Amino acid sequence: MIRVDLTNIRRRLPPIVPDHGVQGAISYQDGQAWVGGVDQVFPIDAATTIPEPGATVGPVHDLAFGVGSLWTVSGGPAHSFGIVQALRRIDPHTRFVLATIPVAGDPVSVAIADGSVWVASLTDGTVERVDPKEERVVDKITLNARPAALAPDPGGHGVWIAAH
C-alpha cells in the first residue's frame, strides 16, 4: 500500500506491505484504513501503519462504512473459495461478521445512502437496496446496463450508479 503525505506529496512514505495482501478495496474511518486482502478485510492503524487482525470474508470486491458497521461485498463461487458471494456486515470493533446477506450474483460495489445499504450486481444488471435493520434486500432496480460502481449522493437524495 502507498500512503501520500498531503503536506508534501513528493515525499515518499515507506510502503505498507501487509501479510494478508491487498486486492484494491479500501475505506477509512476512525483512524484506520480498512483494506480488502486476498480472503479477508483488515484494518491498518493510521498512526502506526501496522496491519491488525481482520475478518475472513473471501475475496473483497468493495467496502463502505455506514449505519454503525463496515459493509463488504465479498466472496466468490462456493466451489472456488468456499465463501459464497454476499453482502457482509462487520463490526469494526470486534471484527466479527454480524450478518451475511444474500444479494444478486456478482456483487461489485456497495454504498451507504439515506439509511440504506446499496449493492450493485455487474452480471445481473441490478442495484439492490438492503434495509440494515432487517438485514435483507427490500428493493431491486433492474438497469438496462451493467453497474460497475456506486457512490452516495452527499445531499441525501439517493445513490449514483456508474454503469456501462
End-to-end Cα, the chain, rounded Å = 29
DSSP 14: P
Question: For the structural domain made of 58-156, what CATH number should be given?
Answer: 2.40.128.630
Model pLDDT, residue 19:
58
Model pLDDT, residue 81:
60
Over residues 94-121, the pLDDT tens digits come to 999 999 999 998 899 999 999 999 999 9
Residue 134 to residue 139: CA distance in whole angstroms: 12
Model pLDDT, residue 28:
93
In the structure grid, which three cell numbers stand for residue 37, read together?
486482502
Residues of the chain with pLDDT under 50: none
Q: In the chain, where are the structural domains located?
A: 58-156
Q: How far is CA 145 from CA 16, 62, 124, in A?
A: 37, 19, 9
78 CB burial (10 A radius; 0-12, 13-18, 19+): exposed
CB 105 within 8 A of CB 96: no
Model pLDDT, residue 154:
84
CB 25 within 8 A of CB 60: yes
The pTM for the full model equals 0.89
Alpha helix ranges (H) inside the chain: 78-81
